[in-house]
A = this chain, B = another copy of it.
């Protein structure tokens, strides 16, 4: 079989882009958000009012990581823990109004990042690429679920 190194390259991209991203955040004076928190917010902006367990799946972060990061985001006032009546084991995470400024700045950085990422790509290529990524992610998720 041919030598495949997709995973190797993905790790490298993750690490390199993480460093670039956090430098960009600093340039925008966003100092109180780390990568994990960014991912949490990003997931919540798409849909909030969800339990921690679901957030863990959407961000691919560990539960224990979630707990800590949510603590901090709650302290900063970006979100709330809400206790539903139907199942008192669960906790729902709700965004507050507070995070809207953050969202705007953060998304600006994301756009810059995306431009850098996909420099020289045509839209159709990006579409195709991201479809591949989804397929891989699903493969891994299925494996985890077993």
Q: Interface on A for B, CB 8 Å cutoff? A: 1-2, 4-21, 35, 39, 42, 59-61, 110-111, 113-114, 116-121, 123, 125-126, 128-130, 132-137, 139-141, 143-144
Contact = CB atoms under 8 A, between A and B. Distances in A.
A19 to B, nearest CB: 8
Contact of A4 (B14, B119, B126, B128): B126
A135 to B, nearest CB: 7
* Identical copies in the complex: 2
A126 B42 CA distance: 28
B117 A139 contact: yes
A113 to B, nearest CB: 6
Given A6-B114, A11-B60, A35-B11, A17 B140 contact: yes
A136 B129 CA distance: 11
**Interface SS of chain A:** helix
Contacts of A11: 14, 18, 35, 39, 60
Given A4-B114, A20-B140, A111-B1, A121 B133 contact: no
Nearest to A21: B7
